[in-house]
Amino acid sequence: MKTVVVHTKAAAVEKDWSRQFAGLDGDVLKQFSTTVDFSVRVRQVFVIQDFTWDGIVKAVSDAAKAAGAGGVVILASGHGGAAPNDPNVGLINWDPTDFDPNDPHRLIVRSWQAGQVGKGLFWETDISKYTDVISPQSRPPTLKEEDEQNIRNKTQNSKILQMRHDAFDALQKIGKALQDNKVQRLTFTVCTAGAATNFMDKLAKHCHAQVACFKLTTMVLDDNTFGLTPGKARLILERDKATDGRGTNILSARVFSPDLDDSSIAHVAKP
């Protein structure tokens, strides 16, 4: 089964696309009733209600339970990013309101430092490597254990380190929910994080499931832009936004995403 998760503060078009995907928009359901098997899609959008890890974990865990064995959980809001030419450096930001107000596709820099941590609702390279042994001589041997030591000792930056620890705990809880329910794939529709292939591979190990994301910039648009009435939401690659019918910017984008199994535009990490 396929389930979709969206944040309550997501853009209206992201919420609309999620409803369309789940078969909850009557017009779209009728339009694609003979071409889409809506019986394998859960007729519910799982909504993250607040900006907390508890809220995120609950929504994703509920979606995982509904998706079940061999299912897919799709995150249809938030932001992503990847460093140029470095497969280790990526970021998944669960907060859909956390972007440059002058450019909604430009991710604000986030790290575990004062002034850049924001709400702390993100996973990045540190989280993906949190339990890796730093070196044979390191004491403590992992970043996780180092953070725990500094949190106990109440060092100057211990509050931020606790936020990083909370982010990793959320990853573990989501991974357990996916594993317990035998979910096959966790999908992020956010921009470009799939280009950080090593980062994605490490997330998949923690999630005990495939983790898929696009290598390119994505967007959801209202196809009323092209004179269609009523307009509906389309999930596409940003490069195709200008022209109706070009590339991924097609009518079926109302109920599908671009192809995540196309390695030229996306990466599917294996656990």
- The tens digit of pLDDT for each residue in 17-44 reads 999 999 999 999 999 999 999 999 999 9
3 state DSSP class of 234: strand
- The tens digit of pLDDT for each residue in 231-255 reads 999 999 999 999 999 999 999 999 9
- The tens digit of pLDDT for each residue in 119-131 reads 999 999 999 999 9
- The tens digit of pLDDT for each residue in 169-222 reads 999 999 999 999 999 999 999 999 999 999 999 999 999 999 999 999 999 999
Per-residue model confidence (pLDDT) at position 135:
83
In order, the DSSP letters of 9-70 are TS-HHHHHHHHHHTT--HHHHHHTTTTS-GGGEEEEEEEE-SSSHHHHHHHHHHHHHHH-TT
Query: What helix, strand, coil percent values describe the chain, rounded to 5?
Result: 35, 25, 40
Integer CA distances (angstroms), 2 to 43, 67, 120, 131, 208, in order:
9, 5, 28, 31, 17
Residue 227: CB atoms within 10 Å: 8
Structural domain spans, the chain? 2-269
Q: What is the pTM of this model?
A: 0.95
- The tens digit of pLDDT for each residue in 138-160 reads 789 999 999 999 999 999 999 99
